[in-house]
Amino acid sequence: MERLKYISLVKELRQIVVARALKLLNEKDDAEDVAREVMLKLWERHQNLHDNAEEVRHLADTMATMMPLINGFRHHRLCQRSHRRHRDTKNGLRHQMSAMKIFCFCKT
């Protein structure tokens, strides 16, 4: 997609992404984070996008839907590794592991 055409769509694309992320996450700050990630990824790929604005809108919406799932999966994997690492240590770190579970809602 040509740079100027992409730039003309940016405001609309961002609105689509924020609306979708807000609907999924119910948290404005998290929706803004998703929007930043999606818009950055779209910008990095704008030269490879088709000139069809409707396809780009659909792609933005799909990315906004998938990004929280991908990020949630990454978070869950990191928590699993962290909990596993602390579980294998002596009793001194077991208290830290318990404290970490307060901040992580993953079932490990």
Q: Hey, where are the domains in the chain? A: 3-103
Residue 15 has pLDDT above 60, yes or no: yes
Identify the pLDDT of residue 78: 56
Identify the pLDDT of residue 19: 95
Q: How far apart are the first and last CA of the chain?
A: 44
H or E element, residue 75: helix 53-87
* Residues in Cβ contact with 47 at an 8 Å cutoff, skipping those fewer than 6 apart: 1, 3
Nearest to 39 by CA among 81, 77, 11, 3: 11
Question: Per-residue pLDDT tens for 48-98?
Answer: 988 899 999 999 999 998 887 776 655 656 566 665 555 545 444 444 444
Question: Per-residue pLDDT tens for 53-64?
Answer: 999 999 999 999
Identify the pLDDT of residue 83: 58
